Structure 1
Amino acid sequence: MNILVVARHPGGGIRTYFRYVYGEKVMSDVSITFLTPKTDSMESIYQGLGNVAKVCRSKNTLFSLFKGLLRLLLQRPDLVHSHGFTAAIITSIPAVLLRVPHVATTHDVFLPDQFKGMKGRVKRWLIGTLLKTCTVINPVGRDAMLNMKETYPRLGEGNRIAEIRNGIDSSFFMTDQVRDLRAESSIPDSALLAGFFGRFMAQKGFGLLVEAVERMKDSQLPIYVACFGWGGFIREEQAALEARGLTEYFHFFPATDEMPAALRGVDIVVMPSRWEACPLLPMEAMVAGTPVLGSDCIGLKEVIEDTPSLMFPQGSVDDLIAQLKYFKEHQPAIKEECVAFRPEAADRFDVGHTAKSLHAIYSRMTQ
């Protein structure tokens, strides 16, 4: 099967999807042509996959991407697979005109206040109209699917929407290596060490964690945070921490390829997100055996419910603090439960399930 894969914004989640899903053995009979803007971060993805037939690097403009898309669609691939809403919209009309089947994987969700006012209503109508041209719309999780159907009820007609939950390379996170982050940062053994592994943007709720740390710093349970996040407003966040006198409680580490060891180096992974589509981080932490404390926001709740993970109402710093205190009081028992859950988490979240389901869609559409 000759598949054209298109992405306008191949960020962390989409890059990881490419590496995990297209690297699975079931995808060995798929020949992929990638069309993405030229970025250094994508080069290692291309090189790490054995089924890449061609890589086309566009300039970082919509026009350049669209021009490259037209040229490649005229070469008649068996189907085109777009990733992200922007790529889906760009691909929709030319795919219909050239009669190339189109799978659109959506890696985000629609927010309640996204389509306010007349301009918002027009934008909503336009997006819905273009998405309706897709052969298959593939949200990356149950919550994302429900969000799609609630936003655009008519898109659910005719089995156009096919949910396939995100997955991870479980075997990579089943190791027992531990990074001694306490020693690296001189954090007291008695203190609670939380891990923040998200981007520094409003969506990830870093500010809520900062507020919790500030309120707990003078208590009998101060919280220290190991930050492995990146991008967004990291410099602004660091400056704000210094202004609030919280620098000693937040330790920033460079990006690492040894994520399992880093995850196992913290007591608990904290995800105070405001919304998610279907996040990989809690899956990775649970397979590594590290407890997770996450908000009950869309996307995240789906992953951590029915697991040993802890949950708190999205946006509530009081409940976040209460759950941190509860974890500290019951840490040995919760940790034991999380370690026992590792095999089940490894099976539940393994990317093999994702790849097989996607391959089945490919096969059905190219017969």
Structure 2
Amino acid sequence: MVNNIAIEKAKTSKIKDVDFDNLSFGSVYTDHMLVCDYKNGEWSAPKIVPYQPITLDPSAKIFHYGQSIFEGMKAYKDEDEKVWLFRPLENFKRLNKSAKRLAIPELPEAHFMEGLMALVHLESDWIPKNPGSSLYIRPFVFASGKGFHASPAGEYKFIIACAPSGAYFSGKVKVLIEQTYSRAANGGVGYAKAGGNYAGQFYPTQLAAEKGYQQVIWTDDNTHEFIEEAGAMNVFVRINDTLLTAPTNDRILDGITRKSILDIAKDEGIKTEVRKVSVHELVEAAKNGSLKEMFGAGTAAVVSPISAFGYEGVDYDLPELADSYASRLKKRITDIQYNRAEDKFGWRHEVI
């Protein structure tokens, strides 16, 4: 029992079979997972059990009505073997914000935080020590209750699973500004981390890939005049020396990395503006040379630089910068995450 969390340990560990020098992202899983069930109107006490398959009835409502939400987090190990999380309470708050929007019962903070801490503590040997590596953590909740009736389920399952992952680096990406499909709509669930949001992105992204692009830049659902997100990440644009990003709304995820970048940029003396950025403004800035950078921001890659964007059959290349905002901001965040630098914001959370 750790932090009041019951633990059933795996009989044998898989860790000896893992090549920690060649980890792909999110494809190898640790020995244990946290499980917690919602039944009869309340969440049961969470427990840690061996990582294992889940058995569900074919009528489980997750399959039919898509009540599913998740978070993405990481645990880091510093040079002294101490383990750290990055702004975990923000993930908890956002998970419950998503839950409320999808009519899923909200989780008690203690269930999330104590369960998370106990699981990461137990699996600390799984945290890679190679540069840029980390333990990816996936909390998720889905409807496990049965029934074909189109209504919220009566039962839910909360799970946290972990995957040791290498550095998430795919190089600079070429993106296509989307003019037909929308990621989300006003009054919808775009601000929630709902599984269906991501499922809906796959097809337009496949179409973009067929044209030679790695991701799409989503635009507003009404006019397609304003840029909103980059693939599954928030998007930043640097025009001259000003860093711009769209304001959050019903359609845009309130990214934790996004918020962190804005705070660090201000601390670095970088001028920031949170406002609508039109496709026309972006194209004109690319033409006149004032567009210096574009990058995506999210948990997995932290910062993903964009090398070029396509719009109406024309590709616009971005310049190569020796001292980019993207590299500066990524270094500031990762230095905090890995306990290599002062954390003046109070974001780092030690796992004991």
Q: Same fold (TM over 0.5)?
A: no
Give the TM-score of the pair, scaled to structure 2: 0.32
Q: Larger RCO: Structure 1 or Structure 2 (Cα < 8 Å, ≥ 6 residues apart)?
A: 2
